[in-house]
Amino acid sequence: MTLHSEQAEFPPQSRNAVGAPRRPSLAAWKTTAARRMRAFAPVFVLVALCILIAIANPNFIELRNLIRIANAAAVPLTLAMGTTFVILMGSIDLSAEGAVAIAATTLVLLAANDSNASNFGWWAVLAAVCASGFMGFLSGNIQTGLRIPSFMATLGVWFIGLGVSTYLLGGSAVRLMDPALRGLALTRFLELPLSVWIALAALAVAIFIQYFTRLGLHIVAIGGGEDLAELSGVNPRRVRIAAFTIAGLFYGVAGVLAAAQLGQSNSVIGDGRLFAAITAVVVGGTALTGGEGGVINTLVGVLIVTVLGNGMVLLGISPYIQQTVQGLMIIAAVASSLDRLRLKIVK
Amino acid sequence: MLAAQSISKSFTGVQALRDVSVTIGGNEVVGLIGENGAGKSTLMRILSGTQSPDSGTLTLDGKPLRLRSARDAARNGIGMVFQEQSLLLNLTVAENIYLGQEGEFTRFGLVNWRAMRKAALRQLGKIGVDIDVTARTADLSFAARQMVELAKALTLEDSTNCPLTILLDEPTSVLARADIDILFTRVRSLKARASFVFVSHRLDEVLQVSDRVYVMKDGLIVGEYRADKVTAPQLHEIMVGRGLHSGYYKEAQQTPPRPAVLLEAAGLGVSGAFRNVDFSIREGEVVGIAGVVGSGREELTRSLGGFLPQTSGSLKINGNAVRLASPEQAVKLGVGTVPRERRTEGLVMFLSIASNITLANLGSVMANGIIDHRRERSVAKEWLKRLRIKAPNVDVACRKLSGGNQQKVVLARWMTAGSRILILDHPTRGLDVGAKEEVYELVRELSAQGVAILLLSDTLEETIGLSHQVLTMRDGEITARFEAAAGQKPAQVDLLRAMV
Amino acid sequence: MTALSQLRDLPGVSSGALRNLAPPALLVFLVGFIALFVPSFLSVQTLTMVLADTAVLFILATGETFVILLGGVDLSIQALASLASVIVAQLLPSLGLGAFPVAIATGLVFGIASGIVHVGLRVPSFVATLASGGVVAGLALLAAHGRAITIEESGRGYTEWINATTWGVPNVVAIAVLVGVAGFFILRYTRFGRFSVAVGAGEPAALAAGVNVNRTKITGFAISGTLAALAGVILAARLSSGSPSLANQLLLPAIAAVIVGGTAITGGLGNVGRTAIGALIISVVRIGMTFVGVNIFAENIVFGAMLIAAVAITIDRSKIAIIK
């Protein structure tokens, strides 16, 4: 007599089970195909959006307008690259606006400006990016060291960043007078402003980090399951701190570009940028739960949001309801790209 | 040779391990058996570095060994294959195999993916399986993932010079029979390269694969045997401290069902899962359903619980035709499910015992639309007493209870809700022998009270032992019906013939 | 449950009782600390002012508590509060007191809409309410033509009852207390309240026990939306104006109040009493800085640091498997 006969669980063709991925069943193929389709949903949304706007107003595809779109996308793209890494881990980073404010303020106060006598030129850029990177480093350490949710840790850092920047600026706006740095927004290379090229470089760096480095793999692994990744020898604390720091560095670059575009820094320079960045990440198809998506998705997400904004201006839609349209678009885009079968619980 | 000497470990008043010593020789498969709570898992955690002992030492080839983390253990050639798998489903097979050990493919933080994939293929080759290393792990079958996990553990061979010890923690509990055979074949063929510790509560499997077996009970090693010198029933007696008597399934307490039909399915179907299912359950009747994975029996129970709406046929509850669209509706009609996933679906683990017991019928402890907390606690206390639930008080969160007591809380909830039809989906899964017996007793009691029960179980024996009637399913259809009155139980072979 | 969280799931000492005391203790400490520098902080007048200033934040946070308890988050409350302020400011002259129910009903409707988008389209609440917040913000801009609308003398007669004081207690405080008591009562004594906690603590198990999860969630968002609108109405009355950006600085402090009070951001654990403590902590820090004499430009630095410290002290980590 067997004590626990297991025949009851006998699967019909289990001999094949081990090699299953080589011989996928039709059903399995269908789910895989469906997942691939969903993965491309944001791209379809972008293409459809472009076609519709172009039909309604052919000016949309004029070179001048496309450059305008690229210019408008530069800062959000750089910001959203940073946010992507944090969201990939299943965390959230609310510190973007504070970090942008810190970077922009550091830049204008160290470069030639109308408030003090400093003139450190390009060193100011480096200092600005580092200052913002330090804010990210701080977020990472607070989150892992004090063991509090990233939502609250980065919320605190947001206020700190904003506070430091307001304090340094004394509540007023300081103008950026360094012509070379202003040139980041004004000088053009191959028709495009330098800021667009810098954003593209930031994109390249982000792609490189996510797809070619060990850190990128570990960030995705933590998003898939931090406890499991840790069992495999990933050091979650180090990876988390690194990811938040990288996010901070990207925010720093975005802050420099924003200051160059505005020609000044003030306490509200970051306003509205945080949720715009998160929107772009989410619309691009990166899951807030972590582990799925990435910087390429975010590129698509940023383009969707920017093209929509540009299109609404071209179509003469009242600026008042542009937020409304964007809100509806977020719902449509996210609802179409979510793989709900895998998400048993939606929170 | 890996050895543990006089290991003791306690958690807030509970002595999990007492003076435990084991040795794992080179190229040996050592079995470790014991009931739930006997201390197997704690011992495994200590061997794998995820916990440290209060006293006692580990030695590797006679030299003392201190393990502070899983990584430490890995450096010393000790790898673990977890019961609930530790692979990341969003990564590819190759990424999973080398996660945390990308060092050899990494230059300046850059990973050479081609080299990693090639190496992963080589690892899988060691156990002789053919799996696409670029596939997402989520797309693999459970059995294939287990093989990947084994391959991952075998990478230690390349990263350390130490002899390899691989800890297999209940690797078979989620595998089908044929896959278990494949796993065992691999383990035997890998014996030349590594030693294994094999933990399971299925004695026949342990004997089948091991050279030597340790038996644990109450935190102690109570026996050590050569696998060819001992039989499963003997081990069982040592493990439980008593023999497996004929009254195990409480057959003597089996009462005949009453005539009234509580649930009746005619031509019931869910497209893609099962079809043309006809059966009925009478008051006080236990109907067992036997079938292999893919037979449709799982979906049938989900459908009756309201989780999976029927697409064809008709269903009558208490004589009224119904269509179950949600668990809420099923519960209102008196159908309660004791789900297989006790930890996630059975109970709200962070909620108190009292809240869990009344959750399905809050109305019973409400007055004028307001929850009467005093009444709620007294109802819960009543159940604690009646079902012999071991808990300090009714305000304790359910996650603090043992599996058997949790299962009793689930049953208490359905009795509070006045459910007349219960769906028991693997009600004894993961319970130790003592807790199982208590569940059997409760099933008998409920059936004597006239509750209609649909039973899905881990083993055929349990299905036959508990049921009045057993239905077999294959490929989504019912293939045979067996009467199983007390003393006239059908034979397993006959059922099997109708199942496969 | 994954392997490691099981490993961690070991019997341990329950520090629950101590944890529950952390937020009130922090509040007492903060008040004591400020009083040490400025004894007049403890005057009835000042404390009344603190309470009055906390009222709006608390009402917003109470609504948010319902959603967070369910395991979600509602990012649309500031937009809803702003919209409600615009509606009140615009309708007071024509509808009089009737403007209030219209504004609050708008909150209810949009709350329900957020809930339906969340459960119906299965969009995570963070995204669903980020989007619905955008929709509402756009409508507020449209309704107000992008401007702030002052409540003229003619309309102020209708808002006086909000700004008045009864027996020395500002009416806004009374309203907040009413909201708090109602919220406490709903969570502790009603079916919906129990279901909310169950869904937040273990959604699949709640579903299997026959809880209508979708209805519970939509109700939670409806309450959040309604209270957001109520907060907007009060804000409009206090500031005598309605504007599409009136409540823009209140969303994150409201969420912070909930979390600082000790409600778990993962859901299933918390109550309105904790939120009251959390909201008071936030307000006392804000107002206390002025009293203690922190440079107004540096206030955000202190506030951010205090926020982090408060969460680090009050959060109950034993209920969160992985801190993300």
Look at B139 and A21 and tell me if their CB atoms are within 8 Å: yes
Q: How far apart are CA C188 and CA B336, in angstroms?
A: 26
With CA atoms as reference, report the closest residue to C305 among A99, A102, A158: A158
Judgement on whether residues B395 and B260 belong to the same structural domain of the protein: yes
Which of C13, C1, C62 has its CA nearest to residue C202? Answer: C1
pLDDT at C284: 93
Phi (first) and psi of residue B51, to 5 degrees? -140, 155
Provide the strand spans (E) within B119-257. Answer: 164-169, 194-199, 212-217, 220-226
Q: Please give the ipTM for the structure prediction.
A: 0.84
Looking at residues B467-490, what average pLDDT do you find? 88
- Give the count of alpha carbons within 13 A of B402, CB side only: 19
Q: In the listed set B218, B244, B270, which residue is the last one of a domain according to the structure?
A: B244
* Partner residue facing A11 (CB), from B86, B140, B293: B293
Q: What is the pLDDT of residues C56-107, one digit of tens each?
A: 999 999 999 999 999 899 999 999 999 999 999 998 888 888 889 999 999 9
**pLDDT tens digits, one per residue of B305-327:** 999 989 999 999 998 999 999 99
How close A343 gets to chain B, by Cα (Å)?
13
pLDDT of residue B153: 85
**A260, HSE (Cβ side, Cα atoms, 13 Å):** 29
**B139: amino acid identity, one letter:** D
For B188-334, where are the E strands, in sequence order? 194-199, 212-217, 220-226, 261-270, 274-282, 286-291, 312-317, 320-322
How many Cβ pairs within 8 Å bridge chains A and C?
191
Alpha-carbon distances of C210 from B305, B362, C20, C146, C198, rounded to whole Å: 10, 11, 31, 47, 11
User: In whole angstroms, what is the distance from residue C324 CA to residue C306 CA?
Assistant: 20
B78 and B145 in a single domain? The answer is yes
Looking at the fold, whether B329 and B350 belong to one and the same domain comes out as: yes
**Which of B183, B214, B244 is the C-terminal boundary of a domain?**
B244
Q: What pLDDT is recorded for position A3?
A: 33
Task: Report, as an integer, the average pLDDT of B467-474.
Answer: 91
Rounded to the nearest integer, the mean pLDDT of chain B is 86
With a cut of 70, say whether residue A15 has pLDDT above it. Answer: no
pLDDT reported for residue A345? 59
pLDDT band of residue A35 (cuts 50, 70, 90) is: low
Q: Identify the closest residue of chain C to A93 by CA–CA distance.
A: C324
Contacts A143 to C, Cβ<8 Å: 323
- Cβ–Cβ below 8 Å for C132 and A327: yes
Name the residue in chain A with its Cα closest to that of C114. Answer: A331
CA distances from residue B47 to B5, B44, B75 in whole angstroms, order as listed: 11, 5, 13
Give phi and psi for C240, each to the nearest 5.
50, 35
Hey, which of A231-235, B359-363, C109-113, C152-156 has the most confident mean pLDDT?
C109-113
State whether B6 and B149 are in the same domain. Answer: yes
What is the model's pLDDT at position C152?
80
* Chains touching A by CB (3 or more pairs below 8 Å): B, C
| Contact of A132 with A252, CB cutoff 8 Å | yes
Same domain, B117 and B221: yes
Query: Does the pLDDT at position C12 exceed 60?
Result: no
Contacts A228 to C, Cβ<8 Å: 2-4
* pLDDT above 70: residue A26: no
The edge-to-edge listing of strands for the beta sheet with B220-226 is B78-81, B164-169, B194-199, B29-34, B212-217, B220-226
Measured in angstroms, the CA of C170 and the nearest CA of chain A are apart by 30
What CATH architecture is C20-319?
Answer: Orthogonal Bundle (1.10)
Q: What is the pLDDT of residue B242?
A: 53
Question: pLDDT-derived band of residue A85, with 50, 70 and 90 as boundaries?
Answer: very high
User: Minimal Cα–Cα distance from C267 to chain B, Å?
Assistant: 10
Range of the domain at B281: 247-499
Amino acid at C108: L
- In degrees to the nearest 10, what's the CA dihedral of B436, B441, B442, B443? 90
Q: How far is CA B328 from CA A235, B313, B359, B425, B435, in A?
A: 43, 21, 11, 18, 29
Cβ-nearest to B86 among A3, A19, A228? A228
C241-290 pLDDT per residue, tens? 889 988 888 998 999 999 888 888 888 888 999 999 999 999 999 898 88
pLDDT of residue A267: 80
Residue B271 has pLDDT above 60, yes or no: yes
Residue A144 tokens, joined? 């892992």
Q: Looking at this protein, which amino acid is placed at residue A213? A: T
**Are residues A3 and B232, on separate chains, in Cβ contact within 8 Å?**
yes
User: What confidence score (pLDDT) does residue A9 get?
Assistant: 35
B216: helix, strand or coil: strand
Domain count along chain B: 2
Burial (Cβ within 10 Å: 0-12, 13-18, ≥19) of residue A189: exposed
The predicted-structure confidence for A144-182, as pLDDT tens digits, reads as follows 999 888 988 999 999 999 999 999 998 888 998 888 888
CATH of the domain at B37: 3.40.50.300
Q: Locate the chain C residue with the closest alpha carbon to B328.
A: C210
For chain B, say whether C264 makes contact (Cβ under 8 Å).
no
Question: Which of B177, B186, B341 best tests the A interface by mutation, with the highest count of A CBs <10 A?
Answer: B177
| pLDDT for residue B376 | 93
Same domain assignment for residues B132 and B54: yes
d(CA A105, CA B17): 60
Q: Residue A21's pLDDT band (boundaries 50, 70, 90)? A: very low
Cα end-to-end span (Å), chain C: 16
Type of residue found at B108? F
| B415, B418, B421, B423 alpha-carbon torsion, rounded to 10° | -40
> Nearest residue on chain C to B411, judged by CA atoms?
C209
Residue B86 has a pLDDT of: 81
Q: pLDDT of B40-97, one tens digit each?
A: 888 888 998 888 889 999 998 888 888 888 888 888 888 888 766 788 988 999 999 9
Closest to C130 in 3D by CA, of B163, A288, B253, B109: A288
Q: Do B359 and B384 have their domain in common? A: yes
Q: Where are the domains of chain A?
A: 41-51+59-337
**Averaged over B171-187, what is the pLDDT?**
75
Do A210 and A295 meet the contact criterion of CB atoms below 8 Å apart? yes
- What are the structure tokens assigned to B392, written together? 């300090």
Residue C316, chain A, CB below 8 Å: the answer is no
**Where does a domain end: B201, B220, B244?**
B244
Residue B91 burial (C-beta neighbours within 10 Å; 0-12, 13-18, 19+): buried
Which among C138, C298, C321 is the nearest to A327, CB-wise?
A: C138
What is the tens place of the pLDDT at every residue in A294-312? 999 999 999 999 999 999 9
- Window 219-248 of B, Cβ < 8 Å to A: 232-233, 236, 244
Mean pLDDT (chain A, rounded): 85
Nearest to A153 by CA among C124, B303, C260, B73: C260
Are residues B221 and B327 located together in one domain of the fold? no
B362 and C9 within 8 Å at the Cβ level: the answer is no
DSSP C241-287: EE-TTTTTTSHHHHHHHHHHTT--TTSSS--HHHHHHHHHHHHHHHH
* Statement: A41-51+59-337 belongs to CATH 1.10.3470: yes
Q: Between A339 and B220, where is the model more confident? A: B220
Q: Which amino acid, one-letter code, is at B182?
A: I
> What does the DSSP assignment read for B86-125?
---TTSBHHHHHHTT-GGGGEETTEE-HHHHHHHHHHHHH
Minimal Cβ distance to C202: which of B11, B45, B344: B344
Among A184, A193, A187, residue whose Cα is nearest residue A256: A184
Interface contact flag, A214 B102, Cβ < 8 Å: yes
B4 to chain C, closest Cα gap in Å: 20
Q: Is the pLDDT of residue C157 over 70?
A: yes
Mean pLDDT over A43-65 rounds to: 92
Of B195, B149, B140, the C-alpha closest to B172 is: B149
| Position B355 pLDDT exceeds 80 | yes
**Spatial separation of the C-alpha atoms in residues B342 and B344, rounded to whole Å:** 6
Average pLDDT over residues B383-395: 88
pLDDT at C279: 95
